[in-house]
Chain A
Amino acid sequence: MELPFDRELHELNERLLTMGSLAEQAVHRALQAFQTRDATLAAQVRDSDNVLDRLEVEVDERAMVLLSKAPLARDLRMVTMAMKISQNLERIGDEAAKIAKRARALAHEPPVRLDVDLTPLALEARSMLKASLDAFVQRNPEAARALIPRDQGVDVAHKSIREKLVAHMQARPETIPQCLEVLTVAKCLERIADHATNIAEDVVYLCEATDIRHVGKAAADTTGS
């Protein structure tokens, strides 16, 4: 028997799945717009960001209604994690919108050849986002845990790109406007991977009621002190 409360939880879950799908699509389109200098595609990303913003507000409203019914145990975890996951998805939408904006700006600059390849970073950030959403859909804490260490690789790749771009700007100052745009896009990809990691941590809490946030950092701080 499905309780009215179950139906409302199901609807909350559906909204999150819609947000996840829109966020993935926004990142994909933004990167495509960036690579192909496609201003029309970039505009579409901005529109989908507005939808994500509205959905985030809707998820919060639905969650507040559900919280007023005093859910407990897995229901309580679902409602609170829904609010956190939707916030991360909305921010992923913001990062995609930023990439699209940089794509539009870059379209007005003369093309330059840069010895920097964003593709591996972009592929990894997208792959992490997909993996985090799959873990949420399947309620798979193992898959979520497996994703988390990948964030360090993204940080390393981002740092390497930033160093190359700084060197490039020093060597060829006339390319600074283009380099700054690429630098911003690299930062957006690094943030998308961070949000995917946050979602993975939320999935672990949702499934296991274990808070794994900052555990590695806390252990490192203890070891260091």
Chain B
Amino acid sequence: MEIDPPALQSAGSPATPVSLTGSRVQSVAPTPAGANPRLIQIEAYDFFYGNHQVLHQVSLDIPERHVTALIGPSGCGKTTLLRSINRMNDLIEGAHHRGDIRIRDQSIFDPHLEVIALRKRIGMVFQKSNPFPKSIFENVVYPLRVAGVRQRSILEETAERCLRAAALWDEVKDRLHTSALGLSGGQQQRLCIARAIANEPEILLMDEPCSALDPVATARIEELILELKQRYTIVIVTHNMQQAARISDYTAFFYLGRLIEAGPTHRIFTSPKNKQTEDYVTGRFG
């Protein structure tokens, strides 16, 4: 496993300030002031579906308010890792794990931690947009309704704020109470992003959010991701190498359930250290 210190580093490595000394290429964005370089700490993490082990000893630190891309061929475990971060895998019968995932130094597996509370801190956007068969407005405020918020002004303010953040407000402000199912695929995906941030999460998990979209809709989502990272920590699974190159600050490459290499995206895509990474990003396998 090859990991560039310090932004993405193996568990137990001493944390040091982010430095790109020796490179004339800056990362997509400099580290925001006060950002935690180890917001999510994945430590010696193994994951099993029954007896079948799909992740092996994954150790990875994910920095706050950056975009981290998880790449690798189908079946490499990247989506399983993504779904581990908000404990969505708990819903799968027979699934179990070893090792730990910590967010702000607190284990997400702590028995005292409420899973619902954890998931409120982590928004998720899926490969296929999944608006509810409700109005645009009700889709966005749904997480607040579930949380018991009834005050109209709060709901309206949240709907506008989230739709603006998802770059959808201008397109839908005059039809907020029409069905969300009438939106285009790209608009539906942005609506799902608006819904994902309604609870003001810290982290946004995205599982191939553009794979069903055309290039124009993809470009809008990518632009949105670059804006959202000012406030949120984004972890994205993508099969599109060019997309990872365009939007992510850091990239982690997985193969057969193992983390093979991680580092600043510009380095992974111009000069990977590991031959398997090189072969994958150049399309020689996978």
Q: Is the CB of B24 within 8 A of A3?
A: no
Q: Is the CB of A70 within 8 A of B241?
A: yes
CA gap between A211 and B242 in the complex, in Å: 23
CA gap between A73 and B272 in the complex, in Å: 7
Q: A5-B283, A70-B241 are contacts. A76–B270 as well, Cβ < 8 Å?
A: yes
Q: A72-B269, A77-B271 are contacts. A211–B282 as well, Cβ < 8 Å?
A: no
Bitwise interface map of B from 242 to 286 toward A, beta carbon under 8 Å scored 1, else 0: 100100000000000000000000000111100001100111100
Closest to B24 in A: A211
Q: Is the CB of B271 within 8 A of A70?
A: no
Residues of A contacting B271 in the complex (Cβ-Cβ under 8 angstroms): 73, 77, 208-209
Residues of A contacting B284 in the complex (Cβ-Cβ under 8 angstroms): 3
Size bracket of the A interface: 10 to 19
Residues of A contacting B242 in the complex (Cβ-Cβ under 8 angstroms): 70
* A75 in the interface (beta carbon within 8 A): yes
Q: How many residues of B contact A (CB 8 A)?
A: 14
Q: Is the CB of A77 within 8 A of B283?
A: no
Interface centre among A3, A76, A208 (most CB of B within 10 A): A76
Residues of A contacting B24 in the complex (Cβ-Cβ under 8 angstroms): 211
CA gap between A73 and B71 in the complex, in Å: 15
Q: Is the CB of B278 within 8 A of A74?
A: yes
* A177 in the interface (beta carbon within 8 A): no
Residues of A contacting B241 in the complex (Cβ-Cβ under 8 angstroms): 70, 72
* A173 in the interface (beta carbon within 8 A): no
* A71 in the interface (beta carbon within 8 A): yes
Interface centre among A71, A72, A209 (most CB of B within 10 A): A72
Q: Is the CB of B269 within 8 A of A76?
A: yes
Q: How far is the CB of B23 from chain A (nearest CB, A)?
A: 9
Residues of A contacting B269 in the complex (Cβ-Cβ under 8 angstroms): 72-73, 76
Residues of A contacting B278 in the complex (Cβ-Cβ under 8 angstroms): 73-74
CA gap between A74 and B269 in the complex, in Å: 9
Interface centre among B24, B277, B282 (most CB of A within 10 A): B282
Bitwise interface map of B from 183 to 225 toward A, beta carbon under 8 Å scored 1, else 0: 0000000000000000000000000000000000000000000
Q: Is the CB of B283 within 8 A of A3?
A: yes
Residues of A contacting B270 in the complex (Cβ-Cβ under 8 angstroms): 72-73, 76-77, 209
Residues of A contacting B277 in the complex (Cβ-Cβ under 8 angstroms): 73
Closest to A75 in B: B282
Q: How far is the CB of B248 from chain A (nearest CB, A)?
A: 13
Residues of A contacting B282 in the complex (Cβ-Cβ under 8 angstroms): 71-75
CA gap between A128 and B282 in the complex, in Å: 32
CA gap between A75 and B280 in the complex, in Å: 12
CA gap between A71 and B278 in the complex, in Å: 11
- Quick one: which of B145-193 are within 8 Å of A by CB? none
Bitwise interface map of A from 70 to 92 toward B, beta carbon under 8 Å scored 1, else 0: 11111111000000000000000
Bitwise interface map of B from 117 to 137 toward A, beta carbon under 8 Å scored 1, else 0: 000000000000000000000
Residues of B contacting A3 in the complex (Cβ-Cβ under 8 angstroms): 283-284
CA gap between A209 and B278 in the complex, in Å: 12
Q: How far is the CB of A3 from chain B (nearest CB, A)?
A: 7
Residues of A contacting B245 in the complex (Cβ-Cβ under 8 angstroms): 72
CA gap between A76 and B277 in the complex, in Å: 14
The 3 closest A-B pairs by CB, nearest first: A209-B271, A72-B281, A72-B269
| Chain B positions near chain A (C-beta within 8 angstroms) | 24, 241-242, 245, 269-272, 277-278, 281-284
26 cross-chain CB contacts under 8 A: A3-B283, A3-B284, A5-B283, A70-B242, A71-B282, A72-B241, A72-B245, A72-B269, A72-B270, A72-B281, A72-B282, A73-B270, A73-B271, A73-B272, A73-B277, A73-B278, A73-B281, A74-B282, A75-B282, A76-B269, A76-B270, A77-B270, A77-B271, A208-B271, A209-B271, A211-B24
List 19 additional A-B contacts (Cβ < 8 Å) besides A5-B283, A73-B278.
Answer: A3-B283, A70-B241, A70-B242, A71-B282, A72-B245, A72-B269, A72-B270, A72-B282, A73-B269, A73-B271, A73-B277, A74-B278, A74-B282, A76-B269, A76-B270, A77-B271, A208-B271, A209-B271, A211-B24
